[in-house]
Amino acid sequence: MYSSEQTLYHYTKDVRILQRTVLARRENLCLDYVRAPPSAKIVECRRLLQQVLHEIRDRFPDGIDAILLSAGLDTSILSEASDQDFAADSNNDEFMAISLDKTAKARPILRFRHALTVQADPTAQDAVFAANIFKRLENVSIEQHHILRVTLDALLENSSEVARLLCTCDPMELRNSLVIYEALREASERGVKHLVTGDAADEVFCGYSFYHGMTEEALDKYRERITATMQFTTAKLARELGIEVISPYLDARVVAFSKTLNKSDMVGERTPVPRDGEQGVHGKLILRQAFPESFSQWRAKEPIEAGSGTTRLRLGYFDSHWTDEEFAEQQRAVFREHGVYIRDREHLYFFQAFLSAFNGDLVNVPRRRFNEAKREVEAHGLEESAESPNVFCPGCGFELSHPKQDFCVTCGCWPTCVSPTNDSQGYATQALAKLESEKQRLLQH
């Protein structure tokens, strides 16, 4: 397959583009704007995030203790973004290039003492990408890179503690949060007091693949909802370890800017040379275009569980823990005794860890809960206030984090309600009906 440089050189008839391509190759410049200059929105995006990073740098003039380096686009940008600027006039036909020389013009804005990456499977790719980033930044802006190679069993030893800290038995949350907790524990042992994360970039700049098929109207509604309800576990876990979390993409100015963007600004083809197949369309497009000096500029989106290797937990890892008969018996027992609907073996494992974290009784969970049998709300030490959502999960009974939340942060049930976004084809209505049917089945003798 041709590289982007080869494609540009061999398939263009414009002499200017040929000359720019040769120049970029010779002087180690990015190729992104050999065809045309960046749009005004791309320029604004770059300058805004640079401003946020400059403020962080000014706050920590001696460098930041650490970065959680998953090496996806988000943390690649935070670790590699440089001071270089695009020309002010986006209509200027001059070649606007960003240098890729990390020891000169491309020297990153932020400096870190430690970068931490977790690898729970030898084939997981976060460690590979992170090693490449460190190779570029070693002795430039990152002093040490720690790849934490751990087994799934070792990560699972922290299940009850993480379930307690996050007040959750949601498998998807815990598959990701166990990885974060491992990195934070290592950071704490190394004396880290503050660290940077890439939290919120996917939410505010349309990083998830399910955004791709949404209409502009549906996307606007969903983003409005998600920016109002989004929560991130890193800060909760770090607080317990005495670590301050710095999340540049959560800056109010960045979130506000993202709301001015159209879908086409955030979801689209790779530039300047498109690709076919699964990697043909990317989310967070404007971030990719605004920071061409990042190693992971066109890395496909992978959740933490995929990049670190904990995805195996949901792919049969717990199958040997219970036979079909044993699981069915446990599923019925949990629902009858605790009123929680267990979806699969992985969910059962994490529910047991959750239950253990709260001394075997869900009454100890500090979250209001609706008791279906008594048809009343149990306070669990939290009295109703003006801010109480007063909306409860049909899967576990615990109060949702927001009146518009269609996903339960306690048990992972989705959908918890019907909304225009999740029921456009009747999916939510059918799913909730099936859940009710399952609950009735488990109550039968």
If asked whether residues 299 and 326 sit together in one domain, one would say no
- Does any domain span residue 355? yes
Residue 15 domain flag: no
Report whether 240 contacts 187 (CB < 8 A): no
- In this structure, the answer to whether residues 306 and 326 fall within a common structural domain is no
How many folded domains does the chain comprise? 2
Task: Look up the CATH number of the domain holding residue 217.
Answer: 3.40.50.620
Instruction: Based on the fold, state whether residues 354 and 278 are members of the same structural domain.
Output: no
In a domain, 24, yes or no: no
DSSP 41: H
Report how far residue 428's alpha carbon sits from residue 22's, in angstroms, rounded to the nearest whole number. 54
27 occurs within a structural domain: no
Q: Is residue 229 part of a domain?
A: yes
> Is the residue at 347 inside a domain?
yes
Whether residues 149 and 264 fall in one domain: yes
- Residue 195 and residue 100 share a domain: yes
Strand (E) or helix (H) holding 377: strand 376-378
Same domain, 286 and 381: no
115 part of a folded domain: yes
| Cα torsion through 211, 212, 213, 219, rounded to 10 | 40
205-222 core/surface letters (b: 16 or more CB in 10 A; e: else): bbbeeebeebeeeebeeb
Q: Give yes or no: residues 400 and 433 share one domain.
A: yes
Range of the domain at 339: 320-443
pLDDT by position in tens, the chain (length 445): 556 666 655 667 788 888 888 888 899 999 898 888 899 999 999 999 999 999 999 999 999 999 999 999 999 999 999 999 985 334 445 677 899 999 999 999 999 999 999 999 999 999 999 999 999 999 999 999 999 999 999 999 999 999 999 999 999 999 999 999 999 999 999 999 999 999 999 999 999 998 888 899 989 988 888 888 888 999 999 999 999 999 999 999 999 999 999 999 999 999 887 776 666 799 999 999 999 999 999 999 999 999 999 999 999 999 999 999 999 999 999 999 999 999 999 999 999 999 999 999 999 999 999 998 889 999 888 878 877 889 999 999 999 988 888 999 999 999 999 988 888 889 999 999 999 999 999 999 6
Domain-embedded: residue 147: yes
Considering the domain architecture, whether residues 150 and 45 belong to the same structural domain is answered as yes
- Rg over alpha carbons for the chain, rounded to the nearest Å, is 24
Tell me how long the chain is. Answer: 445
Last residue in a domain, options 268, 290, 311: 311
| Confidence (pLDDT) at 277 | 64
In this structure, are 353 and 427 located in the same domain? yes
Phi first, then psi, for residue 134 (nearest 5°) are -65, -35
- Kindly give, in sequence order, each residue whose CB lies less than 8 Å from that of residue 210, ignoring residues fewer than 6 positions away: none
Q: Check whether residue 368 and residue 288 sit in a common domain.
A: no
333 plus 307 within the same structural domain: no
346 and 378 together in one domain:
yes
pLDDT digits (tens, 9 = 90+) for 322-379: 999 999 999 999 999 999 999 999 999 999 999 999 999 999 999 999 998 889 999 8
d(Cα 263, Cα 115) in Å, to the nearest integer?
A: 33
- CA 261 to the chain's CA centroid: 20
Q: Are 74 and 202 in contact (CB under 8 A)?
A: yes
Contact 196, 246 (CB under 8 A): yes
pTM greater than 0.75 (yes/no): yes
DSSP string, 285-351: HHHHHH-TT-TTTTPPP--HHHHHTGGGGGTTTTGGGS-HHHHHHHHHHHHHHH-----SHHHHHHH
Choose the final residue of a domain: 255, 284, 311. Answer: 311
CA 254 to chain centre: 16
Sequence-distant (≥ 6) Cβ neighbours of residue 244 within 8 angstroms: 193, 194, 195, 238
